[in-house]
Amino acid sequence: MKSEIDHSLVLKNVRNYINITDEEADFFVSLLTYRRLKKKQFLLQAYDVCKYETFIVKGCLKEYFTDYENDKDHIIRFVTEGTWTSDVESFAKETPSSLNIEAMEDCELLQLDYSSLELLFQTYPKFERWCRLIFEKNYIEFQSRIIKNLSLSGKEKYLDFLSEYPGLSNRIPQHQIAAYLGITPEFLSKIRQQLARE
Amino acid sequence: MKSEIDHSLVLKNVRNYINITDEEADFFVSLLTYRRLKKKQFLLQAYDVCKYETFIVKGCLKEYFTDYENDKDHIIRFVTEGTWTSDVESFAKETPSSLNIEAMEDCELLQLDYSSLELLFQTYPKFERWCRLIFEKNYIEFQSRIIKNLSLSGKEKYLDFLSEYPGLSNRIPQHQIAAYLGITPEFLSKIRQQLARE
DNA sequence: GGTTTTCATTGAACTAGTTCAATCGTTTTT
DNA sequence: AAAAACGATTGAACTAGTTCAATGAAAACC
């Protein structure tokens, strides 16, 4: 039953960026679709077109790119409660996606499709600002990620990950953290061994 | 004299994302300040607050981060004619910037300060959309950069750079390309040597 | 026009991180 | 409860990329 769904987290997300009235909030919420995903299920598979912006109410997913040449996955982001996920390019241009998005835990999600989002922008243009500010935030995070990739050693990247995403290392297998950091699982294991000795 | 300044490129930038009337264009243009920068001058120095969004009419700049620990510069982006540059975080939050932005050639620029930009958004909210779409584009580019950093070898990154930014390698010293790719200048030289032999 | 600074190249020694293969504990599946 | 799949660890051999130092060429500077 729709009335059971808790929209407080997603409204908190919006109100973090813009002020909205109850009426605007109701309209926004009416556009959202609730969805569950079991661990290991795909929210998006590469080559499919990404049809939704998805807000994570509960759970954790990975956005990753598969390098078939070398048979390796590269994780772009782990996304958890309170954040939005999609293949931005695929969603915006309606082109086949280059990313996979896969549940690492059982998830509860809220989705917004392309036409609903455009309707939202037309009805209440202030939501453009909200969307812009989210992209601004993501820009800053990606830039920080690029700087760290360029300047830190494997060990430094791992320590930075632990402090930037506290608690996440308990929810995610170690070899996936390695795929996020851009090192091999074996090398991550050796880094941890070295840290344990210290 | 102000009438000499050519705003066609910056208006083309806006109209690439949204439709605007001549009146809106005039208002937008009235907010811009023209500025020149000589080669090696700084548009922004780390620890200063970034006061402007800057559009590049002519020239080339580098956005980079200095790692004082290891005495190394890491280049985030080269930005050329037709693109906007700033330290996004510093500009948005009015905090000291972590980046330097430096002219690699003599530059002609158009600048928009924080209050002018907010006035623009208030007067014509459709410019929020323009700004959002630019961030969307930058998000896609940064994500692509992250994937390449994680998955490509030095040689592959260099070849990708040449094909992604054709012509740029002639405008930029080689060791700066190395600082962008995340390899040493010596290693880039060896990559080129190897490519020349093939 | 000569000098200084900046930039690219090359080689030799080195190291951070990879690869491969084996082992072992822990979930998951049936 | 057994079997299968998955995940972390360890070691030995390897390689992509670094570091340091020397050399030469070309800009930039006075």
Residues forming beta bridges with residue A184, ordered by sequence position: none
Superfamily of domain A2-149: Jelly Rolls (2.60.120.10)
**A69 pLDDT tier (thresholds 50, 70, 90):** confident
The percent of residues above 90 in pLDDT, for chain A, comes to 92
Report whether pLDDT(B2) > 50: no
The highest-confidence range among A2-11, A61-70, B126-135, by mean pLDDT, is B126-135
Nearest CA among B81, B18, B26, B16 for reference residue B54: B81
What's B11's DSSP letter? H
Nearest CA among A9, A107, A91 for reference residue A49: A91
pLDDT at A84: 98
Out of A92, A139, A182, whose CB is closest to B150? Answer: A182
Higher pLDDT residue, A3 or B22?
B22
Residue B125 to residue A126, Cβ atoms within 8 A:
yes
Q: Encode pLDDT of B53-69 as tens digits.
A: 999 999 999 999 999 88
Residues forming beta bridges with residue B190, ordered by sequence position: none
List residues with CB under 7 Å of strand C: A 70, 153-155, 182-184, 186-187, 190; B 173-175, 185-186, 188-190, 192-193
Report whether pLDDT(B177) > 70: yes
Using the Cα atoms of residue B28, residue B29, residue B31 and residue B37 in order, give the sign of their dihedral.
positive
Strand D, nucleotides < 7 Å from a protein CB: these are: 6-12, 16-21
Q: Encode pLDDT of A88-141 as tens digits.
A: 999 999 999 999 999 999 999 999 999 999 999 999 999 999 999 999 999 999
Judged on CB neighbours under 10 Å (0-12, 13-18, 19+), B61 is: buried
Pick the CATH number of B2-138 from 1.10.10.10, 2.60.40.10, 2.60.120.10, 1.10.3720.10: 2.60.120.10
Q: Locate B89 and state its tokens.
A: 């975080």
- How big is the CA angle at B169 (ends B180 and B41), to the nearest 5 degrees? 65
Q: Encode pLDDT of B88-105 as tens digits.
A: 999 999 999 999 999 999
Q: Is any atom of strand D within 7 angstroms of residue A154's beta carbon?
A: no
**What pTM, to 2 d.p., does this model score?**
0.94
Nearest CA among A127, A90, A174, A44 for reference residue B143: A90
Q: Encode pLDDT of A119-134 as tens digits.
A: 999 999 999 999 999 9
Rounded to whole angstroms, the Cα distance separating B141 from A139 reads 10
Residue type, B65: F
Domain ranges of chain A: 2-149, 152-198
**A4 pLDDT tier (thresholds 50, 70, 90):** confident
Q: Long-range contacts of range B63-67, CB-CB < 8 Å, 24 or more positions apart?
A: B63/B87, B63/B99, B63/B100, B63/B101, B64/B99, B64/B100, B64/B101, B64/B102, B64/B179, B65/A147, B65/A150, B65/A151, B65/B98, B65/B99, B65/B100, B66/B100, B67/A151
B58: phi then psi, degrees, rounded to nearest 5:
-155, 140
pLDDT at B145: 97
- How big is the CA angle at B177 (ends A160 and B166), to the nearest 5 degrees? 125
Best mutation target, B66, B146, B155, to test chain A (most A CBs within 10 A): B146
Report whether pLDDT(B120) > 50: yes
Q: Is any atom of strand D within 7 angstroms of residue B154's beta carbon?
A: yes
Average pLDDT over residues B143-155: 96
HSE (side-chain half, CA atoms, 13 Å) at A32:
24
Report whether pLDDT(A3) > 80: no
Q: Locate B81 and state its tokens.
A: 């004619």
Q: Encode pLDDT of A154-186 as tens digits.
A: 999 999 999 999 989 999 999 999 999 999 999
Residue of A nearest to B71 (CA): A151
Judged on CB neighbours under 10 Å (0-12, 13-18, 19+), B198 is: exposed
Residue B149 to residue A150, Cβ atoms within 8 A:
yes
Taking each helix axis from N to C end, the angle separating A174-181 and A185-197, rounded to the nearest 10 degrees, works out to 100
pLDDT at B3: 53
**A71 pLDDT tier (thresholds 50, 70, 90):** confident
Judged on CB neighbours under 10 Å (0-12, 13-18, 19+), B49 is: middle
Residue A149 to residue B146, Cβ atoms within 8 A:
yes
- How big is the CA angle at A64 (ends A63 and A68), to the nearest 5 degrees? 160
What's A110's DSSP letter? E
